[in-house]
Amino acid sequence: MNTLAARSLLFFLACVLGDSTSFAQTASSYDTLIQQGKLELKAGNADQALRVGQSAEKIEAERWEGYALAGGALMNLGRYEEAIDALTKAIGSAPENKRPALEDLRRACARAESGETSKAGTVPPSTTSSSSQVMQAELVLWMSIESSSNAADYQRYLAQYPEGTFARAAKSRMNSLLKSDATNDWALGWDEERASNYSAAASHYQHACDGGEPRGCRYLGTLFLNGQGVGQDDGRAAGLYKKGCDMREGTSCANLAFMYDKGRGVGMDYTRAVEYYKEGCDDGEPMGCAGLGTKYRDGKGVKQDTVQAAQLFKKSCDGGYSFGCRFAAMLYENGAGVDHDETLARQYYARACSLGDSANCGK
């Protein structure tokens, strides 16, 4: 391993371990050793870092930092098999947010041990100076963004190094940040919609949907369905519900089923309606269970089965959907799929009323 790459690798490991300047004056012997070891890593003193790491291991065998120190030092010394073992122990007890970087180091170590050229930091003696500079550039870029909260930084890294040593960690961090941003956009859109600022809401919902937040797709679809802040467009609404449903958002599936059920924006198709009502119901959306129940009750898109319909209506009601309660009450009232029971019918009507279905209050 060349000297520059080795020092950068050790500095990266020091970054994984944390800031060497911020520890309490009352730190334990273990903590003091870890801080000393991090200073040795930054100075490139692999032999001393190894001794410190091994001393820390003896004091606290259940903690991860000592193994990480020893693993980095062994890797720098070219003792790759021992380094893999130490890093494996570190990964086993390290907190979840530290594991991806440690796993990346272990993979780099494994490549070096097998004679392959590492993409960042571990450079076999036969590697050319030009290759070492490329590897060094990747490592420097990664160290500059490793703690970034901007998804664009990780996108930039992946654009330059799509198969880089830290690509897996970069993708994970980027996706997490994008999802967080998308969820925030959805929340902002909901605030704007509640204030009747529909155009602003639509913009936020679009960003949320594009970022992978299914609620953004669904809420934007409903704006298109109602023509609020955007032009009324049933086809766009159905397409957005489909996108949300593909992301396993049950309400989007139920809404899409409704579109097929009524022929809005798509051709009327009871079979497809049954399919999407079922997806919504299976994903925990009580409206989907109620919609599926109506198809079994009426024999549309599926063989008529009032027993199955009753079970679905009760499931929908238990999930807090007022129409599920109403439909269950009607079946008990008429003795369809269940025994005729006026008492249960009144109970289900009362539940429908308590959930906001005022038409059934007092029945």
Burial class (CB in 10 A: 0-12, 13-18, 19+), 356: exposed
Residues 82 and 196 in one domain: no
**DSSP reduced 3-state for 183:** helix
* Cα(331)–Cα(309) distance, integer angstroms: 9
* Same domain, residue pair 113 and 186: no
Q: What confidence tier does 115 reach under pLDDT thresholds 50, 70, 90?
A: low
* Assigned domain for 149 exists: no
Q: For residue 170, what pLDDT is reported?
A: 83
pLDDT at 15: 55
Q: How many domains does the chain have?
A: 2
- Own/partner pairs, 203-207, CB within 8 angstroms, 24+ separation: 207/182
Region 199-208 average pLDDT: 94
User: Rounded mean pLDDT of 335-344?
Assistant: 92
Q: Is residue 264 part of a domain?
A: yes
Using an 8 Å Cβ cutoff, are 355 and 323 in contact? Answer: no
Asked whether residue 147 is domain-assigned, the answer is: no
Residue 274 domain-assigned (yes or no):
yes
Given 95, 118, 141, the domain boundary residue is 118
Query: What per-residue confidence (pLDDT) applies to 238?
Result: 97
Q: Is residue 143 part of a domain?
A: no
Contact 99, 64 (CB under 8 A): no
**Considering the domain boundaries, does residue 213 fall inside one?**
yes
Do 309 and 207 share a domain, yes or no? yes
Residue 257 CB contacts under 8 Å (≥ 6 apart), including other chains: 272, 273, 274, 275, 276, 277, 279, 280, 288, 291, 292
What is the per-residue pLDDT for 121?
40
Tell me, what CATH number does 33's domain have?
A: 1.25.40.10
Which pLDDT tens digit goes with each residue over 91-110?
A: 888 888 788 878 877 887 77
Q: How far apart are CA 258 and CA 239, in angstroms?
A: 13
Confidence tier at 17 by pLDDT (50, 70, 90): low
- Name, of 33-37, 116-120, 258-262, the range with top average pLDDT: 258-262
113 and 14 together in one domain: yes
Among left, alpha and beta (phi > 0; psi -120 to 50; other), residue 244 is alpha
Angstrom distance (rounded) from CA 320 to CA 332: 18
Single-letter code of the amino acid located at 147: S
Question: Does residue 168 fall inside a structural domain?
Answer: no
Residues 207 and 302 in one domain: yes
What whole-number distance in Å separates Cα of residue 317 and Cα of residue 314?
A: 5
Confidence of residue 16 (pLDDT cuts 50, 70, 90): low
Are residues 199 and 91 part of one domain? no
Amino acid at 334: N
> Residues with Cβ < 8 Å from 152, sequence gap 6 or more?
none
Are residue 37 and residue 107 in the same domain, yes or no?
Answer: yes
Residues 48-88 pLDDT 10s: 888 888 888 888 888 888 898 888 888 877 788 888 888 89
User: Do 114 and 193 reside in the same domain of the chain?
Assistant: no
CA distances from 71 to 119, 124, 165, 190 (A): 18, 17, 17, 49
pLDDT for res 236: 97
Q: What percentage of the chain carries pLDDT values higher than 70?
A: 83
pLDDT of residue 38: 77
State the Cα–Cα distance between residues 216 and 218, nearest whole angstrom.
6
| Pair 198, 307 in one domain | yes
Structure tokens at 327: 């439909």
User: Looking at the structure, do residues 184 and 69 belong to the same domain, yes or no?
Assistant: no
d(CA 184, CA 177) in angstroms, rounded, equals: 11
Over the stretch 193-202, which tens digit does the pLDDT of each residue have? 999 999 999 9
Kindly report the pTM of this predicted structure. 0.56
Point out the domain boundary residue: 72, 92, 118: 118
Same-domain status, 183 and 305: yes
236-273 residue pLDDT tens = 999 999 999 999 999 999 999 999 999 999 999 999 99
Report the C-alpha gap between 198 and 220 in whole angstroms.
Answer: 10
Range of the domain at 184: 179-322
**pLDDT > 60? residue 119:** no
Residue 256 lies in a domain: yes
Least confident window among 42-46, 68-72, 188-192: 42-46
Same domain, 102 and 225: no
pLDDT tens by residue, 292-331 = 999 999 999 999 999 999 999 999 999 999 999 999 999 9
